[in-house]
Amino acid sequence: MATQPLTTTATVPKVAFRGAIEKDKYGIFRMKGSRVTLSSVIASFKEGATAEEIVQQFSTLSLSDIYLVIGYYLSNRQQVDRLLKAQRSKADQTRQKIERNQDLSELRARLAAKRKLKSGEATYA
């Protein structure tokens, strides 16, 4: 996975989290050396999980990195929340674009045929 250390974005000041966070090639911030996103860690924290509980949820993470990220989040809550909101918005836009470009008519026809077969409405020739 190609990643770069977190440096500067429009919404987050220059900080490296001492290497705890990386930005992947898609612009998603992840905990270094893992596929765990920053948004997952922050969401767990916002739901009331302690750093120790977050490490239990994501066993690939270190306790020191979790404390570092939580500390930074608490000191820069508005900036991190704006960043995560922008990432969610971008992901939603991408999902909507993909859904608009999919032709699901064939899939729907197959599902309808299976439902008909299950309900015993199918006729055999």
What is the distance between the alpha carbons of residues 12 and 32, in angstroms, rounded to a whole number? Answer: 17
> Cα dist. 34→3, 20, 48, 53, 106 in Å?
11, 10, 22, 17, 38
Is position 18 within any domain?
Answer: yes
Nearest to 3 by CA among 64, 20, 91: 20
Domain that holds residue 82: 3-118
Residue bearing tokens 């924290």: 45
Is position 36 within any domain?
Answer: yes
pLDDT score for 60: 92
Is position 39 within any domain?
Answer: yes
Is position 21 within any domain?
Answer: yes
Is position 107 within any domain?
Answer: yes
Is position 25 within any domain?
Answer: yes
pLDDT score for 74: 92
| Residues in the chain where the model's pLDDT stays below 50 | 1-14, 16
Residue 117 in tokens: 């077969």
pLDDT score for 121: 62
pTM score above 0.85: no
Structural domains counted in the chain: 1
Is position 124 within any domain?
Answer: no
Nearest to 64 by CA among 23, 29, 18, 12: 18
Nearest to 61 by CA among 39, 38, 32, 19: 32
pLDDT score for 124: 56
Query: Can you give the CATH number for the domain in which 101 is found?
Result: 1.10.10.10
Is position 125 within any domain?
Answer: no
